[in-house]
Amino acid sequence: NAGVTQTPKFRVLKTGQSMTLLCAQDMNHEYMYWYRQDPGMGLRLIHYSVGEGTTAKGEVPDGYNVSRLKKQNFLLGLESAAPSQTSVYFCAGGQTYEQYFGPGTRLTVT
């Protein structure tokens, strides 16, 4: 099993550009999460999903959108990237409170 995978691993965007980050899991997790990690701030929840077809806002949802059309995939979109969205993004999945993390996507917005 690959577990939780994220695509791409690195990306550089210019301000105003859009992109989609893909998270895929082969562990049949019901719950999936998108976090951003910034120095000194730990992990902050952006959006999450409690099942296929559902999404909900987390702690820092502004500027992001998500979709969960298939149970195994959770997409994070940036419609108009801003320098404040420079961060490392982690996806996680789980069936209980225990979460399994992907390797991360390092995004730089210039």
Partner 1 sequence: AQSVTQLGSHVSVSEGALVLLRCNYSSSVPPYLFWYVQYPNQGLQLLLKYTTGATLVKGINGFEAEFKKSETSFHLTKPSAHMSDAAEYFCAVSDRVGGATNKLIFGTGTLLAVQP
Q: x/- site string to partner 1, residues 8 to 27, per CB under 8 A?
A: --------------------
Backbone φ, ψ for residue 22 (5° rounding): -110, 135
User: Which range of residues in 12-20, 34-42, 63-71, 72-80 is near partner 1 by CB under 8 A?
Assistant: 34-42
In angstroms, the CA 73 to CA 5 distance is: 10
By CB under 8 A, tell whether 50 contacts partner 1. yes
Residues at the site binding partner 1, with contacts judged by CB under 8 A: 4, 31, 33, 40-45, 48, 50, 56, 58, 90, 92, 94, 96-104
